[in-house]
Amino acid sequence: MKTWDVIISGGGPVGLVTAIAARQQGLSALVLESRASLPIKACGEGLMPRAVAVLERLGVPLDDAREFQGIRFLDGDTVAQASFRGRRGRALGREALMQRLERKARDLEVELRTSHTLRDFAYVEGLVHARVSAGTAGTLDCTGRLLVGADGLRSPTRRKLGYELPPRQPKRFGSQCHYQCAPWSDFVEVYWHARAEAYVTPLASDRVGVAVLSHGPAPAPEEWARLFPELIQRLGAAPAGRLRGAGPLEQRVRGVLAPGVALVGDAAGYLDALSGEGLALGFGSALALMGRFAAGELWRYPRDHRRITASYYRMTWLLLALARRPRCRAFAVRYLSRHPRLFSALLSSSAEGAWA
């Protein structure tokens, strides 16, 4: 039986980036995805500058992905915007991103197995022994030096480790769909409401993506007109394609490393999508994990993960506090509208540059 260097549970963007990073470190990689095809999930579809930097480093092509210059807040009649100071963000639909990551992974001879679900695992004498359900083919055993849980918000790997903690925040949910219309801005726009926030991403010359984050159950698209009338008027069309949802968003964890097992991406803990940094954090953590594993320094990964996610948690706690306090939020947006340099500095500190 073949022994893999890395077995990755989860074939989403973070799982594929982990596999690509493993191969570039000279490690063999097996990706297990429970769905019949690689997953397309709800997301804002804006790649922040640090996510772009990781993909460029890994050789994933983004030249034709639409650039966006920064972030724009709209709260009633008040508008505040901040531009990235260095590398721009890129807007890319999740399906297109998955296709590019899959192509890169296969070029590097990553083995991708869909309809394969991790059922159980045990770490014995330096190896992880995984029991995998393979659909009609029954079950099979896989052996690896490291198992990586990249299996999302509801991570079965995290649950099997007993690493889940109860949430601290009221439940929040997300939903996302596309609209067939020309973008009117080269910024990602955030429309604020007491009940929810809407994120608008310019995806192509004739398409925009809209993601809504809500306090409590996600409102249906037909309710968006009541929450965001100016936005819906600009869109001027019904949603095109499937509505996707996610949540509850907050996921707390006891740790990100156990004997023979590591967690990355949403499986390693998540607070909220308000900052748009989810993929960037997952990608950065995947690179750090594979670098440490290849160097025989896996024990250092938890410290790397804390460093990579520190600014995200600080910024997201602040944004959540504002989202729940409309008067404070309105004051903050007015203040940022009068001090664009400060807004740009705050954006740069949380979304740009490399992780030291």
pLDDT at residue 354, as a whole number: 58
Residue 36 has pLDDT above 90, yes or no: no
Q: Please state which of the ranges 30-34, 162-166, 231-235, 261-265 shows the lowest mean pLDDT.
A: 231-235
The stretch 269-289 carries a mean pLDDT of 93
Give CA–CA dist 339/312, Å, rounded: 22
pLDDT at residue 352, as a whole number: 66
Give CA–CA dist 107/99, Å, rounded: 12
Give CA–CA dist 114/38, Å, rounded: 7
The stretch 50-73 carries a mean pLDDT of 93
> Binning pLDDT at 50, 70 and 90, where does residue 140 land?
confident
pLDDT at residue 135, as a whole number: 75
Give CA–CA dist 164/267, Å, rounded: 10
Instruction: Output the six-digit token pair for 279.
Output: 């993929």
Looking at every residue in the chain, the average pLDDT score rounds to 91
304 and 38 in contact (C-beta within 8 Å)?
no
**First-last CA distance in the chain:** 39
**Per-residue pLDDT reduced to its tens digit, 182-231:** 999 999 999 999 899 999 999 988 899 999 999 988 888 788 888 998 99
The stretch 88-95 carries a mean pLDDT of 90
pLDDT at residue 274, as a whole number: 85
Report phi then psi at 249, rounded to 5.
Answer: -80, -40
Domains and CATH numbers, the chain: 3-65+91-168+249-325 (3.50.50.60)
Q: Please state which of the ranges 30-44, 67-81, 310-324 shows the lowest mean pLDDT.
A: 30-44
